[in-house]
Chains A and B, each alone.
Chain A
């Protein structure tokens, strides 16, 4: 055990760190893009507070295209763009742009679905009080959908964790990279096992933490 740790401990910790950085950074950037897109889908939809059928359709198409390209293909497609954006095609930095671009449309749909659960009557009440579109988004849609948005975030993060492991196989580093190098190429089962275990723990932690947070912040529950 100690021997194993001496040999691979550093690598595993490094992989864990890289994966965490990739997940956290991609989640943040993907939300910076996906959240406004989700909001845009809701406000511009038919019967929305800022009805714009064409805008809604176009944003919808773009999101669908983004979602229909498999992550691994997207990574390859984006290689030059990634290089242009962050100066490298590989490593943790190189993985972030494709992660963001593939997670953002997914997040936009998650956000759309959370916001669509907000009671239309409440939105209407806000309109009757003279709220502007922006005020309704900020003070009605987002806070009222908060518990659902948090649950949605846990699903998004778990998806991004899965993507990072795929990214790892094509040189992004992190736990996925370890799993491929030591599990597949060199066949060191304990390393493979440890990385799998760590990924399972990460997913569990994210899921429980966010579920707890969502429940704690939901004032509809007594």
Chain B
């Protein structure tokens, strides 16, 4: 794979000193690849925000190294760091828009900082407004917009300087489920169209499931496990991983009584029709345990984990059906349990 765009080595962050010291992060190492959507998930207080804030040095690590796009951030001078931050966009749970500026002027803000001429900045801002689907709201003030719209403006603003990385700290946590989905779709879209690497901090597994390629699970300031989303969904290794994947407290062993298969799409029809036709043609319902698929021009790529029905006959029927599909390959996920 390509070289990582964010490389974190042995990162440690301690707040305070002596007896009051809070060890927010301890010896974190992560590689985030160019062009991927990387999730960081964990419970409240796990250190997620601290970790993402170390990626643009809003928080200075106590020890360790943070390399973004080939630059060791901890070694930069103030001026160099400010320059580096221009290629690291960030969005926040609270949107953090300038309340006294219109949507358009909010998007122009980072361009003003770098001295882009006003006319050029406005042109770029208008394009971005179109990209985030708010072309008609350029003169609206944040107070006149809904949460979802504000987050779209914040995304457009973060993208104004054409960053290579977009850091999202609980970007959807203040939004209702429908709006959350639309923002996630937008992020996925931007990731595909612009190739921007996206780092998503969340405490909700469904966010990871929806758009992340890989995920790191953070717990008590350490990485409990990391890997492909599909694999972690299929077979979480850590206690916290299991808690997050089966929040209802489903025992992994119970789930593993049935067979789990991984199917890979290599450009066939998109995956929803397959699952639907499986139900219609065979009368078999499968559980989607995890999916890492993308639709590109109506064709599906990626992998999906399916839990087969308990009944062996039904399971066999489903397997036969899937094997008969063009552009879909299938393998059985061995039972580690």
Contacts and interface: CB of A to CB of B under 8 A. Distances in A.
Contact of B98 (A143, A217, A218): A143
Given A128-B56, A130-B86, A139 B94 contact: no
A130 B92 contact: no
A132 B110 CA distance: 11
A119 B99 CA distance: 10
8 contacts: A125-B92, A128-B56, A129-B86, A129-B109, A129-B157, A143-B101, A220-B141, A222-B143
Contacts, number: 81
Given A125-B92, A130-B86, A132-B82, A144 B99 contact: yes
A31 B161 CA distance: 36
B214 interface: no
A127 interface: yes
A216 interface: no
B58 A124 contact: yes
A140 interface: yes
Interface of B: 56, 58, 81-86, 88-90, 92, 94, 96-102, 109-110, 112-114, 141-144, 154, 157-158, 161, 167
Contacts of A140: 98
Given A128-B85, A129-B161, A139-B112, A221 B96 contact: no
A134 B141 CA distance: 24
Contacts of A218: 100
Contact of B58 (A127, A135, A221): A127
A146 B101 CA distance: 12
B100 A219 contact: yes
Interface in A101-154: 119, 121-122, 124-132, 135, 139-140, 143-144, 146-147
A143 B144 contact: no
Contact of B85 (A119, A130, A220, A221): A130
Contacts of A221: 143
A134 to B, nearest CB: 11
B113 A121 contact: no
A159 to B, nearest CB: 26
Contacts of B144: 222
A120 to B, nearest CB: 9
B138 to A, nearest CB: 14
B99 A220 contact: yes
A41 to B, nearest CB: 22
Contacts of A147: 100
A33 B102 CA distance: 31
A121 B92 contact: yes
Nearest to B91: A125
A119 B112 CA distance: 20
Contacts of B86: 129-130
B96 A124 contact: yes
A139 B85 contact: no
B54 to A, nearest CB: 12
